[in-house]
Structure 1
Amino acid sequence: MTADFFRELTEAMEAARDAYPPGDHARRLLATCRAMRRWAVTHRAEFGWVFASPIIRRPGSPRELAGRDFEQVFLDEIADLWRARRFPVPAPDELDPSIREQLRAYAADTGSGLPVEAIHVFVSCWTRLYGLLCMEVLDQLDFAYSDLEPVFEECLRELAPRLGLDYDAAAGRSS
């Protein structure tokens, strides 16, 4: 069941991304992020099932494979962006040695070809988006907000320049 939810979400994100041509990194990435949020807020129970519970790693399981396909949607776009034009990254010695080693292992596991510093930016951006979505879907910000779409857009507006991209308010938005 979890694998099915992952596949459904992945397909929604890929469709949004693929509405823009390869090389249009800003629009592709923003559309992907918006599609993920749209799926999350319209599939709250499924999002909770997939993302708001501990992960039991079973290499090669349908859940693990579907989760990797989901991850690749973002990672591949970041890797394409890196190859096309490097985005700002911290110097290697600016990263805590433990973080550097953990990300080195992750980078090797992904086969993305990204240096540790670019992986650090990728994971930092992902953590921010994922954390905000979890808080929204799990109603953890209801004390302050009744509509989190503008908060999500603010997050995207802040993350775009971190990746060397221009923010596009329209890319991937439902009409």
Structure 2
Amino acid sequence: MPDATAAAGAAAAGQRAAPGGQRPARRGRLPSVAEADIRRVARKLLTEAGPEAMTLRAIARELGVTAPALYRHYASHEELTDALRTEICLDLAERLAAEAAEVPGEDGLLQLFAICRGFRRWALAHANEFTLVFASPHRARTDGPRPYEEPFGRVFLAAAGRLLTGYDPALPAAESVPAGVRDDLIRYRGELLAMLAGTGEHFPADKLGLGLTYLMITLWARLYGHVTLEVFGNYPLPVRDPDALFDAVLADLARDFGIGDGFAG
């Protein structure tokens, strides 16, 4: 019996001590995984196979862990998805700001259109990332922009501010704005001004009336709609020169601002 007891004790000691004298991880302890690695693998799955491939189980499998290990950093798949959207928008905002910076001088209109062209090029080259951020179902919006929208939105708004400073656009009268959306636009105007405060750009707030806010919303809808149709191949007819068509859309947007003569293409 003493020999058996000693053997059992030795076996237990062997279980507690790992090779090299290190103690092994306790049973049930989840392996450590870095937050940045989770996003890196999630983005890899997204770009290679689309949003549907970006499941927690698939991410965990790529990292060599189990799905519960991911919950240390993200409480849900939606939280991880929002974090990835933020990362993508930060990268996109940096890219678009660089596009605007390459425009000679301080022409706000040309900078805004450089951003529009850059957005289109990015969307066509990164269709799966575009889908996740701009073309997938979201939770209902609460007050204010979603956090991941702000970096991207500030780049556009900064260029719009320079446009309004350098030009005297013809803006819709407040009474021409549909009554059913006025309260929403008034609230959104406040959101835009708060977002612009973070750009460091001087924005003529007195110009951001109800008419301009409405114009900005409708112009974004047209730009976004055009890019979405192109990304998903849903043009209603074959287009041999999509670049020319997009430039024509930008020229139309300039005319809607009442500054079409200043658009050089």
Q: Which of the five TM-score ranges fits, normalised by the shorter chain?
A: 0.7 to 0.9
The residue type equivalent to 1:56 in the other structure is: R
Residues 155/117 of structure 1: CA separation in 2 closer, same or farther (3 Å cut): same
Distance 2:168 2:263 in 1: 17
2:156 is aligned with 1:74: yes
Moved over 4 A (4+): none
2:124 is aligned with 1:47: no
Structure 1: stretches of 5+ with no match in the other structure:
170-175
Q: Contact 1:75–1:122 at 8 Å: present in 2 too?
A: no
Name the counterpart of 1:6.
89
- Write the deviation string for residues 96-154 of structure 1: whole angstroms up to 9, x where unpaired: 11222211110012215311111111111111110000111011117432542221111
Aligned with residue 156 of structure 1, among 241, 250, 263: 250
The residue type equivalent to 1:103 in the other structure is: L
2:264 is aligned with 1:168: yes
Aligned length: 166
- Write the deviation string for residues 36-87 of structure 1: whole angstroms up to 9, x where unpaired: 111011111111111111222687xxx9333111011112221232233331
2:200 is aligned with 1:110: no
Query: Larger RCO: Structure 1 or Structure 2 (Cα < 8 Å, ≥ 6 residues apart)?
Result: 1
Name the counterpart of 1:145.
239
The residue type equivalent to 1:66 in the other structure is: Y
Name the counterpart of 1:35.
118
Deviates further, 141-150 or 39-48:
141-150
- State the superposition RMSD in angstroms: 2.2
Q: Contact 1:2–1:50 at 8 Å: present in 2 too?
A: yes
Q: Contact 2:127–2:231 at 8 Å: present in 1 too?
A: yes
Distance 1:101 1:64 in 2: 19
Distance 1:76 1:119 in 2: 14
Q: Contact 1:48–1:138 at 8 Å: present in 2 too?
A: no
% identical aligned pairs? 27
Q: CA deviation at 1:30?
A: 1.2
TM-score normalised over the length of structure 2: 0.57
Q: Which has the larger radius of gyration?
A: 2
Q: CA deviation at 1:168?
A: 2.7
TM-score normalised over the length of structure 1: 0.84
